[in-house]
């Protein structure tokens, strides 16, 4: 048994939260960096104060600042965290196995049909896909190298490579569109197809266009985007879809988009931890950008 004295260290998660607040000067910014809530940072600071036995912040709640004792403590903590970060930084690797998470419909409709090209060019890099469901954040997933997800911002601690713009619009089968006689005004009243994972798609689209939605002839709901897209292709109605999910079907003539696609901020991005350098992941990111650039432009709205 070692005779080394036991270190009397404060709770490290609480110290990390307080150190982040000290650097940023704002609870919300510290919370963003640590991927926790504002309240969690506040609780961690109180826990550290209880352990230390003296206050770390002063001033009104809306303008909290560090005390002199806190500044001395956090100066040492920041230096220690910097040293730990340098020592723990993973070495650069060529990586033969990449674990990538993405939503199932994106994998089926866009990524998998193109992966043969990546495999042919990079036979030493193997992509292992894991399905994401709902509004899952990359930071909540374990044992992953990266995730492909819709992103409108770049939180601290992340590296993001955007490769497809955030475009979406209504699509339906060519036969259903022909039955409307090419009348765009009648399209919004067609049977409306929804997905359980994005029930607000139609209302968001109407709000962004500043146009009211008429009452549809019928409404049908599906568990997955792929189901709704197949239903639209089969002539069951009109569904709202991201351009990335339906680009190949539109190009093949299985779906049409008479009202074009609306562009919103952000886009699909490969999200990874900024602290990790990975040659294989860099090659995958470059390939995604190239494939995004090869996509045809989204259809523009037709006039009735």
Q: Where are the domains of the chain?
A: 12-88, 97-165+266-294, 167-264
The CATH homologous superfamily to which domain 97-165+266-294 belongs is: Periplasmic binding protein-like II (3.40.190.10)
**pLDDT per position as a tens digit, 102-135:** 988 899 999 999 999 999 999 999 999 988 765 5
pLDDT of residue 86: 60
Q: CATH number of the domain at 167-264, please?
A: 3.40.190.10
Find the mean pLDDT for residues 181-199. Answer: 87
Domains 12-88 and 167-264 share a fold: no
pLDDT of residue 3: 54
Question: Quick check: 93 pLDDT over 60?
Answer: no
pTM of full prediction above 0.75: no
**pLDDT per position as a tens digit, 238-268:** 999 999 999 999 999 999 999 999 998 889 9
Average pLDDT, the chain: 84
Task: Annotate 1-32 with b (16+ C-beta within 10 A) or e (fewer).
Answer: eeeeeeeeeeeeebbbbbbbbbebeebebbbb
Fold held by 12-88? Arc Repressor Mutant, subunit A (1.10.10)
Please give the residue that has the higher pLDDT: either 196 or 255: 255
pLDDT of residue 304: 47
Lowest mean pLDDT across 202-216, 244-258, 280-294: 202-216
Split at pLDDT 50, 70, 90, the class of 274 is confident
Find the mean pLDDT for residues 265-283. Answer: 86
């Amino acid at each position: 048994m070692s005779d080394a004295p036991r270190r009397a260290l404060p709770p490290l998660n609480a110290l990390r939260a307080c150190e982040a607040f000290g650097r940023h000067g704002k609870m919300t910014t510290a919370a963003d960096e640590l991927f926790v809530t504002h309240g969690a940072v506040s609780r961690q600071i109180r826990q550290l104060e209880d352990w230390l036995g003296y206050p770390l912040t002063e001033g009104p709640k809306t303008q909290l600042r560090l005390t002199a004792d806190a500044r001395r403590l956090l100066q040492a903590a920041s230096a220690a965290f910097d040293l730990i970060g340098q020592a723990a930084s993973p070495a650069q690797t060529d990586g033969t196995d990449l674990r990538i998470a993405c939503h199932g419909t994106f994998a089926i409709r866009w990524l998998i049909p193109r992966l043969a090209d990546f495999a042919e060019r990079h036979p030493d890099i193997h992509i292992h896909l894991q399905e994401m469901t709902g509004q899952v954040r990359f930071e909540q997933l374990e044992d992953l190298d990266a995730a492909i997800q819709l992103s409108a911002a770049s939180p601290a601690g992340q590296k993001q490579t955007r490769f497809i713009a955030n475009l979406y619009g209504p699509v339906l089968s060519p036969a259903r569109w022909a039955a409307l006689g090419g009348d765009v005004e009648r399209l919004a009243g067609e049977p409306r197809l929804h997905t359980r994972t994005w029930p607000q798609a139609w209302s968001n689209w109407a709000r962004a266009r500043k146009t009211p939605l008429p009452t549809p002839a019928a409404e049908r709901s599906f568990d997955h985007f792929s189901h709704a897209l197949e239903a639209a292709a089969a002539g069951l109605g009109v569904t709202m879809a991201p351009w990335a999910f339906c680009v190949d079907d539109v190009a093949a003539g299985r779906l049409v988009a008479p009202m074009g696609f609306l562009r919103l901020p952000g886009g699909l991005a490969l999200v990874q931890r900024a602290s990790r350098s990975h040659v294989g992941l860099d090659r995958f990111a470059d390939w995604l950008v190239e494939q995004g650039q090869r996509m045809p432009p989204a259809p523009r709205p037709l006039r009735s």
